[in-house]
């Protein structure tokens, strides 16, 4: 099952094309603080991910952006079950992860992750080919077959096996190491690849090569990506849809172009205009946001963004905005996007 | 910035060699820098290009095993000839530096206010109370909220952006003439990065600082710099006024860097124009132009010798044979 050509996509596509590959409902993770099962949580609880819903369609790239501490990496780790969610359902191709139909092991074979630190995520004592062949071998492939597969994958990610197969991680560059990590992630023929800041540590000229490689692999292997980054240029290039997170909540969700052209949440707008200008005659004159992202311990009441928001009204500190429809498949958690919210600026408009 | 002012920083033929198991490595091979008071120069390059090594050489922060060659003059002094005593009077007072990781720049077991006051007292004959007053002024100046209370913070009690502001306050404590910045915004979120860049621009105007700003991000260089020098494999391959370098990039490497950026809307399935290959191993650099093996306009002549600087326009120069050939075929051009 592992060796040779990956199983035909139609064999594995159990839910059909209409079923999202990943469907996440009410995902929640709070760190620290000991609350009883039904009791109130004590203070000091970090609300890293606080009840988020999203889905990833088959074959798409979902970009996740936000400042540090917004919960984007925690979301990835929760999906992979590297850390256990406190609450929430994760459906993979229509089946609950960890259920009878889809055991955790089965799920993890189909979902793989690539991390930011290319060096720390490799075993320094394994050569490049051993690293890539490791997964298939553990899954019962014959050593020769696993090695042949590793060589094929190394070739696919642009590392000529004859030159690179026998090298150790410290003998290759950061860009090459990240290619090894990508090859390893592909070694079990996954359907979902979670890329957590996978190109952030690379030099710009190398980053472009790896992004192009990811596009090629996605097409050739029929992959679905969750692409987490703080670089908005990269996310725009890579993503079909984008989820903007703020302090453990979804601030905005929708197709990439509408979000960049006409952001529905003031936070998304501020994030976009924080990108350095590329025009020497029109440098940024005023910072769109002041201060650092607030601490997810004890987040602000109502809309979590309200203390930094230019459009704030008293309503914003009292009521939490719901996700309102901005356009087709485009949602924003802002009172201004909700005609029924009673935000004073709506009446003025 | 006056055009006639004497340069405050002038490095000529700067080289830095490190010893390694593979033999000596020339991390910087012949860098010329010239900076006037009130001017900002961005050193733009990838890891291993020698940008940080050049910066540190201006303050002689390298271990004694590193060999620095060429000449470095700052504010009329010969930096490479300074004794240990002269160096410690020079560092912090004439030139100071801010780093990528302020968490490492501060001592974790002392309060930040005390660390700033200590720097002031080291260079100026003032009382502790006065030094502390200076620290408070600086905290207000870099806009740290509730500055009085924050002076008593330990470094770990501040967020990343605030620590970076505190480090800027520390660097400016003795009113230096030159600020060296080594990727000070790289670890920050974009929303905080732009605040710090604007703050540096403002402080520069106010104090008349000359800034050398090392970065790998073209966008950051555009936001901060008057001039940009692009480094590759230990050399400056192109330099000039910010707008000229960005709009009229002459060196194939600079052009490659600019076009490999994904910005703006790209069509579906469009690919980035990536520069192939990776930067050279400095222990075994390629013959001739170091960028040759990755260059799309590589010609035989590129492999024979490192090209000299060619004038593109008044103060815009680039090291590329192609430009020399073009210039010689256009007399007076």
Q: Which helix (H) or strand (E) holds B34?
A: strand B25-35
Give the least confident one: A134-143, A164-173, A331-340, B2-11. B2-11
Q: What is the CA radius of gyration of chain A?
A: 22
Q: What is the distance in angstroms between the Cα of A259 and the nearest Cα belonging to chain B?
A: 12
User: Could A284 and B223 be called an inter-chain contact, meaning their C-beta atoms sit closer than 8 Å?
Assistant: yes
Confirm if B332 and B318 have CB atoms less than 8 A apart: no
Q: Is residue B78 part of a domain?
A: no
A236 touching B (Cβ < 8 Å): yes
Q: Is B236 in contact with B42 (CB distance < 8 Å)?
A: no
Question: What kind and span of H or E run contains A95?
Answer: strand A95-96
Distances, alpha carbon A200 to alpha carbons A195, A256, B89, B326, in Å: 10, 20, 39, 38
Chain B positions touching A284 (Cβ under 8 A) are: 194, 197-198, 223
pLDDT tens by residue, A209-226: 999 999 999 999 999 999
For B231, the 3-state DSSP assignment is strand
Averaged pLDDT for residues A51-69: 94
A119 touches chain B (CB under 8 A): no
Return the closest-CA partner of residue A303 out of A266, A262, A253. Answer: A266
CA distances (Å), origin B330, targets B299, B323, B324, B325, B333: 20, 11, 10, 9, 5
The closest of A265, A223, A222, A224 to A243, measured between CA atoms, is: A265
**Domain contains B213:** no
Query: Which residue in A has a C-alpha nearest to residue B159's C-alpha?
Result: A292
Contact A204 B261 (CB under 8 A): yes
Nearest CA in chain A to B193: A274
Q: What is the per-residue pLDDT for B264?
A: 58
Cβ <8 Å between B190 and A274? yes
Domains: count for chain B: 1
Contact flag A212-B274 (C-beta cutoff 8 Å):
yes
Question: Do B193 and A283 count as a contact with CB atoms less than 8 A apart?
Answer: no
Report DSSP state, residue A77: H
Cβ of A278 within 8 Å of Cβ of B222? The answer is yes
- Taking CB atoms and an 8 Å cutoff, what residues of chain A touch B146? none
pLDDT per residue over A303-317, tens digit each?
999 999 999 999 999
ipTM of the complex: 0.86
**CB-based contact A257 B265, cutoff 8 Å:** yes
Asked whether residue B257 is assigned to any structural domain, the reply reads no
Mean pLDDT of A115-131: 95
Cβ of residue A232 closer than 8 Å to a chain B Cβ: yes
Residues in chain A: 349
Classify strands A224-228 and A61-65 as parallel, antiparallel or unpaired: parallel
pLDDT by 10s per residue, chain B, length 333: 445 678 999 999 999 999 988 788 999 999 999 999 999 999 999 988 999 999 999 999 999 899 999 999 999 999 999 999 999 999 999 999 999 888 888 999 999 999 999 999 999 989 999 999 999 999 999 999 899 999 999 999 998 889 999 999 999 999 999 999 999 998 888 999 999 999 999 999 999 999 999 999 999 999 999 999 999 999 999 999 999 999 999 999 999 999 887 665 565 567 888 898 888 888 888 999 999 999 988 988 899 988 999 999 989 999 999 888 887 776 543
Question: Average pLDDT, whole number, for chain A?
Answer: 90
The count of CB pairs under 8 A between chains A and B is 125
Q: In this structure, is residue B128 part of a structural domain? A: yes
CB contact under 8 A, B262 and A237: yes
Instruction: Quote the pLDDT of residue A8.
Output: 53
A347 closest CA partner among A315, A309, A318: A315
Consecutive H or E run containing B137: helix B128-141
Q: Looking at the predicted structure, is the pLDDT value of residue A5 above 70? A: no
Q: In what order do the strands lie in the sheet with B25-35?
A: B25-35, B9-18, B67-74, B77-78
A173 has a chain B CB within 8 A of its CB: yes
- The domain in which residue B166 lies consists of 104-175
The beta-carbon neighbor of B192 closest among A278, A280, A292 is A292
**Do the Cβ atoms of B261 and A236 come within 8 Å?**
no
Q: In what order do the strands lie in the sheet with A330-332?
A: A111-114, A192-196, A224-228, A61-65, A241-246, A249-255, A330-332, A324-327
Q: Is residue B210 part of a domain?
A: no
Task: Scan for tokens 């970076």, then name that residue.
Answer: B164
A-chain residue closest to B269, CA distance = A215
**Which candidate in B21, B52, B153, B189 is best for mutational testing of the A interface (most A CBs within 10 A)?**
B189
> Which residue from B8, B10, B73 is spatially nearest to B37, judged by alpha carbons?
B8
Chain A neighbours among B 77-136 (CB < 8 Å)? none
**B269: contact with A, CB 8 A cutoff:** yes
Q: What pLDDT, on a 0 to 100 scale, did the predictor assign at position A1?
A: 43
Which residue of B185, B262, B268 is the best one to mutate when testing the A interface, meaning the one whose CB has the most A CBs within 10 A?
B262
Three-class DSSP category at B138:
helix
A171 or A17: which carries more pLDDT confidence? A171
Q: Is residue B170, in this structure, part of any structural domain at all?
A: yes
Predicted local distance difference test score (pLDDT) of residue B106: 92
Tell me if B216 and A203 make a contact (CB, 8 A cut-off). yes
Joined tokens for residue B81: 């000839």
- Of A339, A309, A346, the C-alpha closest to A324 is A339
B267 and A CB contact within 8 Å: no
B205 to each of B20, B40, B184, B215, B301, how far by Cα in Å? 42, 10, 18, 21, 45
Burial bucket for residue B189 (CB in 10 Å: 0-12, 13-18, 19+): buried
- For residue A174, the Cα-to-chain-centroid distance in whole angstroms is 21
Q: What is the token pair recorded at A212? A: 């192009």
Confidence of residue A39 (pLDDT cuts 50, 70, 90): low
Chain B residue with the nearest C-alpha to that of A234: B262
Q: What is the pLDDT of residues A253-283, one digit of tens each?
A: 999 999 999 999 999 999 999 999 889 999 9
Chain A residues lying within 8 Å of B295, measured CB to CB:
none
Chain A, window 39-78: residues with a beta carbon less than 8 angstroms from a chain B beta carbon: 67-68
- Considering only CA atoms, which of B179, B14, B10 is closest in space to residue B78? B10
Confidence of residue A104 (pLDDT cuts 50, 70, 90): very high
Residue A336's pLDDT band (cuts 50, 70, 90): very high
For residue A309, the model assigns a pLDDT of 93
Q: What angle do CA B296, B297, B303 make, to 5 degrees?
A: 105
Contact list in B for residue A208 (CB cut-off 8 A) is 260-262, 272-275
B212 lies in a domain?
Answer: no
Judged by DSSP in three states, A24 sits in: strand
Write down the residue that tokens 């609350």 correspond to: A35
CA nearest to A267 within chain B = B191
Answer yes or no: are the C-beta atoms of A3 and A145 closer than 8 Å.
yes
Chain B residue with the nearest C-alpha to that of A68: B189
B299 in a structural domain: no
Place of tokens 């979120």: B189
Q: Which residues of B touch A309 (CB under 8 A)?
A: none
Does A170 contact chain B (CB < 8 Å)?
A: no
Does the beta-carbon distance from B190 to A283 stay under 8 Å?
no
């Amino acid at each position: 099952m592992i060796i040779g050509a990956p199983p035909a996509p139609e064999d594995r596509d159990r839910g059909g094309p209409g079923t999202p590959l990943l469907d996440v409902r009410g995902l929640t993770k709070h760190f620290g603080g000991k609350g009883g099962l039904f009791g109130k949580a004590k203070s000091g609880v970090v609300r890293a991910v606080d009840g988020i819903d999203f889905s990833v369609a088959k074959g798409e790239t979902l970009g996740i952006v936000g400042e540090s501490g917004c919960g984007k990496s925690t979301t990835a780790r929760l999906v992979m079950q590297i850390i256990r969610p406190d609450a929430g359902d994760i459906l993979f191709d229509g089946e609950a992860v960890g259920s009878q139909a889809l055991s955790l092991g089965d799920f993890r074979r189909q979902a793989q992750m690539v991390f930011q630190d290319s060096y720390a995520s490799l075993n320094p004592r394994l050569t490049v080919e051993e690293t890539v062949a490791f997964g298939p071998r553990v899954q019962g492939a014959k050593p020769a077959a696993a090695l042949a597969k590793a060589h094929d994958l190394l070739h696919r990610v642009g590392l000529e096996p004859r030159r690179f197969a026998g090298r150790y991680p410290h003998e290759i560059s950061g860009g090459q190491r990240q290619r090894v990590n990508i090859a390893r992630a592909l070694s079990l023929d996954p359907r979902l690849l979670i890329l957590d800041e996978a190109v952030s540590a690379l030099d710009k000229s190398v980053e472009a090569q790896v992004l192009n490689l990811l596009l090629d692999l996605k097409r050739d292997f029929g992959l679905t990506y969750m692409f987490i980054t703080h670089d908005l240029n990269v996310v725009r290039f890579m993503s079909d849809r984008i989820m903007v997170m703020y302090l453990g909540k979804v601030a905005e969700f929708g197709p990439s172009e509408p979000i960049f052209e006409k952001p529905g949440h003031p936070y998304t707008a501020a994030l976009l205009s924080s990108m350095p200008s590329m025009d020497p005659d029109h440098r940024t004159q005023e910072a769109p946001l002041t201060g650092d992202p607030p601490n997810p311990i004890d987040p602000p009441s109502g809309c979590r963004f309200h203390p930094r928001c230019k459009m704030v009204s008293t309503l914003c500190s009292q009521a939490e905005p719901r996700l309102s429809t901005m356009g087709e498949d485009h949602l924003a958690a802002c009172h201004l996007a909700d005609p029924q919210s009673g935000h004073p600026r709506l009446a003025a408009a | 910035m006056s055009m006639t002012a004497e340069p405050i920083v002038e490095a000529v033929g700067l080289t830095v060699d490190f010893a390694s198991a593979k033999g000596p490595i020339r991390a910087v091979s012949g860098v010329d820098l010239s900076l006037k008071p009130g001017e900002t120069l961005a050193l733009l390059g990838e890891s291993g290009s020698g940008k940080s090594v050049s910066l540190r050489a201006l303050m002689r922060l390298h271990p004694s095993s590193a060999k620095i060659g060429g000449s470095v003059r700052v504010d009329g002094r010969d930096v490479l000839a300074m004794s240990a005593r002269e160096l410690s009077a020079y560092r912090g007072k004439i030139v100071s530096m801010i780093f990528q990781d302020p968490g490492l720049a501060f001592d974790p077991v002392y309060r930040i206010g005390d660390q700033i006051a200590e720097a002031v007292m080291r260079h100026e004959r003032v009382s502790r109370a006065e030094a502390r007053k200076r620290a408070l002024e600086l905290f207000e100046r870099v806009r740290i909220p509730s500055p009085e209370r924050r002076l008593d913070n330990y470094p770990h009690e501040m967020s990343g952006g605030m620590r970076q502001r505190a480090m800027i306050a520390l660097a400016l404590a003795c009113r230096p003439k030159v600020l060296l910045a080594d990727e000070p915004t790289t670890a920050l979120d974009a929303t905080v990065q732009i605040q710090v860049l604007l703050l540096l621009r403002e402080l520069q105007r106010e104090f008349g600082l000359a800034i050398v700003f090392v970065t790998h991000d073209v966008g950051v260089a555009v936001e901060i710099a008057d001039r940009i020098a692009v480094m590759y494999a230990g050399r400056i391959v192109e330099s000039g006024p910010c707008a000229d370098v960005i709009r009229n990039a002459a060196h194939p490497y600079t052009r490659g860097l600019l076009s490999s950026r994904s910005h703006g809307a790209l069509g579906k399935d469009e690919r980035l124009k990536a520069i192939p290959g990776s930067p050279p191993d400095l222990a075994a650099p390629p013959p001739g132009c170091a960028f040759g093996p990755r260059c799309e306009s590589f010609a035989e002549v590129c492999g024979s010798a490192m090209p000299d600087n060619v004038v593109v326009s008044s103060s815009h120069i680039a090291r590329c044979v192609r430009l020399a050939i073009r210039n010689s075929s256009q007399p007076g051009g």
